[in-house]
Amino acid sequence: MLVAHPSDKVRASVMKRYLVQTHGCQMNVHDSRRIEEVLAKQGYERTDDSQLADLIVVNTCSVREKAEHKLLSLLGTMKPLKEERPGLVLAVAGCVAQQEGAKLLSRVPHVDIVLGPDNIAELPGLVAHVEQQKSPIARTVFDVHDPRFLDAGAELSLRDREVSSFVTVMKGCNERCTFCIVPTTRGPERYRSAREVIDEIRALARGGVKEITLLGQTVNSWHAPGEDAPDLDDEHGNPKNMGESKFAQLLRDIAREVPELARLRYTSPHPRHVTDALVRAHAELDVLPAHVHLPVQSGSNRVLKRMLRRYTREHYVARARALQASRPRFTLSTDFIVGFPGETEADFEETLSLVHEVGFSAAFCFKYSPRPHTPALKLEDDVTEAQKDDRLARLFAAVEVTQRKNLESLVGTRTTVLIEDLGREGDDGIARWKGRSERHEIVHVEAPPGLDLRGAVLTASIERANAHSLMGRVEGDLSHLPPRAVTVPVMIPSDQRRRLPVTKSA
């Protein structure tokens, strides 16, 4: 029998509070925002204190190494909370939830709700079910036939004074990369209408958001729902680059219909869908950055084939070159996996040479580890841990070189900077602000105290390159900027604030 804790009775008369813990990629961070939006509409209030929460949602990613194991141990730490307050509802969302479904309820009996990414809108109803029926419930059904895309919610962006926000344009993935669980946990590709996407972006821009990142597992494969996908393959099944790009047209439509938007990014594009039309959009639309994060995973054709990436190194390099030629100082960052089954030293050296050939400005590098339910499980994980460690260290060192080269090449240039946040205010009375260049470098600038630079788009001349960022001097007069209000900071859980390094999409 469930026994109410005294504090549950007190809370019954006040607004309910939720806490969302996010672990994983940008898609998970975005899903957490949808969860918050759904709960806020039901009158829930956010808390960072698990002792005060009526509902805790753990939103997890199964892409990360030992994700399931980590989830189980995290849930274990929450058991005393549930014992102390049986009225607390504990939900698990995200890819692990989708993957495990109802099995998770039997493995962790103190979990009340298992929620798939396509079932976020149902969360309040599921909470009501748990509270009334006193029984756990799993809901992990893909909305393949009637896809739903939840709005980012301009209210939350306004509340948090967001400079930058995500907007989903598609979900799921039709690729079958052998190391990736996403096709299993997110289902087949489903697309959102251009009208919905543009309306949401307009609402966010009117709420003060300056930068939008379009989100999708293979974001540049977007086309309107119900339309046929453009045929991008030649007769051998290799990408032929060309053809029309519905995604490029979407970018043009957004730029035309929301002219107040300062920046429009997208993640993660797939190299097979970097069409000439998309390259032209980068050349012609000022709102697009001079940067793309284009995951490559390996520089070896043999490994790319085993990964089932469906492009060659030569194709990737040609697309990278086209993008780099579209705008001055265009940069590319990427993702790499080292130690994929069968990767030889010669294969790895091809990855190293690709780093220098493309000149990546940054890269997220990971060691391969077998993931449940992925096709690569059938391949022998024959690269030793020591070899993986060694290759990872050498890859980091190679990327450091190209990253540093890019940063140093920018000293003496001018760049626009979108200011994201106050870095620190020193005893010297100077405020140090942090922003991003039109590529994606972090740029620090100084300003007189008391001014609010957040969300401002400024021109800065770059005076110095640090190891991973730039120091700039703001050009022009700042007196038109508003004074900085004294605010009580909204605490966002640290795991949601930092840039999470795992994006196993595209």
> What are φ and ψ of residue 227, in 5° steps?
-80, 155
Nearer to ligand SF4, 152 or 506 (CB): 506
Only one residue has tokens 């089932």, namely: 308
The C-alpha atoms of residue 449 and residue 223 are separated, in whole angstroms, by: 47
Q: Which stretch binds ligand SF4 (CB under 6 A): 14-22, 132-140, 177-185, 233-241?
A: 177-185
Q: Which stretch binds ligand SF4 (CB under 6 A): 15-23, 176-184, 226-234, 485-493?
A: 176-184
Indicate the DSSP class of residue 290: S
Residue 506 interacting with ligand SF4 (CB under 6 A): yes
Q: Which stretch binds ligand SF4 (CB under 6 A): 1-9, 21-29, 175-183, 372-380?
A: 175-183
Nearer to ligand SF4, 180 or 358 (CB): 180
Residue among 173, 205, 250, 500 that touches ligand SF4 (CB under 6 A) = 173
Shortest spacing between CB 268 and ligand SF4, in angstroms:
7
Touching ligand SF4, residues 480-499 (CB under 6 A): none
Binding mask 323-352 for ligand SF4 (x = CB under 6 A): ------------------------------
Nearer to ligand SF4, 82 or 273 (CB): 273
The C-alpha atoms of residue 58 and residue 106 are separated, in whole angstroms, by: 17
Helix (H, G, I), strand (E, B) or coil at 424: strand
Indicate the DSSP class of residue 373: T
The C-alpha atoms of residue 103 and residue 114 are separated, in whole angstroms, by: 9
Which residues does 387 contact at the CB level (< 8 Å), separation at least 6?
Answer: 339
Binding mask 263-282 for ligand SF4 (x = CB under 6 A): -------x------------
Residue 218 interacting with ligand SF4 (CB under 6 A): yes
Residue 189 interacting with ligand SF4 (CB under 6 A): no
Shortest spacing between CB 215 and ligand SF4, in angstroms:
12
The C-alpha atoms of residue 37 and residue 44 are separated, in whole angstroms, by: 9
One-character DSSP codes across 427-472:
TTS-EEEEEEESSS-EEEEEE-TTB--TT-EEEEEEEEE-SSEEEE
Nearer to ligand SF4, 454 or 504 (CB): 504
Q: Which stretch binds ligand SF4 (CB under 6 A): 169-177, 228-236, 372-380, 396-404?
A: 169-177
Residue 217 interacting with ligand SF4 (CB under 6 A): yes
| Structure tokens that stand for 445 in this block | 């600038």
Shortest spacing between CB 4 and ligand SF4, in angstroms:
44
Residue 182 interacting with ligand SF4 (CB under 6 A): yes
The C-alpha atoms of residue 217 and residue 266 are separated, in whole angstroms, by: 10
Residue among 175, 343, 347, 441 that touches ligand SF4 (CB under 6 A) = 175
Nearer to ligand SF4, 273 or 439 (CB): 273
The C-alpha atoms of residue 111 and residue 96 are separated, in whole angstroms, by: 13
**How many Å separate Cα 279 from the centre of its chain?**
22
Residue among 177, 274, 355, 458 that touches ligand SF4 (CB under 6 A) = 177
With the CA atoms of 305, 306, 307 and 313 taken in that order, what torsion angle do they form, in degrees rounded to the nearest 10?
-30
**Binding-site size, ligand SF4 (CB under 6 A):** 13
User: Pairing state of beta strands 190-191 and 55-60?
Assistant: unpaired
Only one residue has tokens 């009117």, namely: 206
| Structure tokens that stand for 84 in this block | 């102390």
Please give the residue ranges that form the binding site for ligand SF4 (CB under 6 A): 173, 175-177, 180, 182-183, 217-218, 270, 504-506
